[in-house]
Amino acid sequence: MNDSIETTATYREITTQTAAWREAMDVVAAQADALRALWSQGEYDSIMFTGCGSTYYLSLAGAALWQTLMDAPAKAMPGGELYLYPRASYGSLAGRRTLLIAVSRSGTTSETIAAARQFKERGHGEVVVITNYGDTPLADLGHITITIPAGQEESVAQTRSFASMYVAVTALVATLAGEDDLLAAMAKLPVVGDALIARYEPQAKALGENLDLDRFYFLGSGPRYGLACEVNLKMKEMTLTHSEPFHFFEFRHGPMSMVNEQAAIIGLLSEENHALEAQVLTEMAALGGRIFSLGERDADVAFHSGLPEIIRNVLYLPVLQLMACYRSVAKGLNPDSPNNLTAVIELDLVV
């Protein structure tokens, strides 16, 4: 691919994503009363998040966020697993009520639709849908559907859409947790996000275009593990580069054997456990790895947002998405059209 990065849809979608963050917060706020009513009347025993690919990773992050803010169990499963192995996924739901939060950029992903339809037909509970496209089969299955049109994309790899839906999940959980202060703080996210993109795009470019690196490891723990999985997927999809996600401490248990001068280790540092997580990066640097860290402070990409940790995790995404986009172009690939992929997976499934 010989065009400049600015001509790609992926680049435009990454660098304009904060407008979709705003819309996500506005849409959730408009449905806040309905969401609270559903939650208070539902008497749910369990919470399940589901999606496929990127939105499964969003579900992992969402479930961790739920458990942190709501202090109640939540689980994430791929849509295909819910459909094929409902007992293994849910266990026995006899006499129990579950809220299913189904996430899909297109609203037409076959496995997610089949899982949500099966869930409803078996009377397990209600479905909340989060999507970027309304008037779709999945949207029609939602007791409440949160639609974020500003997150729509031309490109195949999810960037703006993922971030918009993650912000919506964050706002949804904060709403149900009654955390009005957190919701008010979230309004500052777009301004901080724009500043991060402007300030750190050169670093994303430099690391992404470094073709001496042939493997990338993304480390994130707690609510950030699902995000580490997602940015790992962007590296695979856009750049055809070996990439894997790990929890911070798990990286020591075998995977660190792959660290050398050609390895980049990207750390999504928390504030709560900053010193312990940073120590892992220090150890990997001693093995020759190229270290790149993101966090509120004392990091290569420092947010300096002043926002509560639990609601600022979307800030990890834009710079790492840009890194993958720059690497794709540097390798002569087209980030808008990854190898072997389509924007929507549609299968012939029968409930």
CB-based contact 192:18 (threshold 8 Å): no
Question: Which tokens belong to 193?
Answer: 């996000």
CATH for 149: 3.40.50.10490
pLDDT in tens, the chain (351 residues): 446 899 999 999 999 999 999 999 999 999 999 999 999 999 898 999 999 999 999 999 999 999 999 988 999 999 999 999 988 877 655 567 899 999 999 999 999 999 999 999 988 899 999 999 999 999 999 999 999 999 999 998 999 999 999 999 999 999 999 999 999 999 999 999 999 999 999 999 999 999 999 999 999 999 999 999 999 999 999 999 999 999 999 999 999 999 999 999 999 999 999 999 999 999 999 999 999 999 999 999 999 999 999 999 999 999 999 999 999 999 999 999 876 545 555 546 654
Specify the pTM. 0.95
Same domain? For 129 and 196 the reply is no
Same domain? For 179 and 36 the reply is yes
Same domain? For 203 and 175 the reply is no
Q: Is 207 exposed, middle or buried (0-12, 13-18, 19+ CB in 10 A)?
A: buried
Query: Hey, how many other C-beta atoms are within 10 angstroms of the C-beta on 127?
Result: 23
Same domain? For 172 and 193 the reply is no
Determine the residue type at 234. Answer: K
What are residue 295's DSSP bridge partners? 302
Same domain? For 212 and 159 the reply is no
Query: Hey, how many other C-beta atoms are within 10 angstroms of the C-beta on 320?
Result: 29
Cα separation values, 176 from 34, 71, 162, 179, 332, Å: 11, 12, 21, 8, 46
Same domain? For 93 and 144 the reply is yes
**335 within a domain of the structure (yes/no):** no
Q: What does DSSP say about strands 98-104 and 144-147: parallel, antiparallel, or unpaired?
A: unpaired
CB-based contact 232:255 (threshold 8 Å): no
CB-based contact 81:89 (threshold 8 Å): yes
**343 within a domain of the structure (yes/no):** no
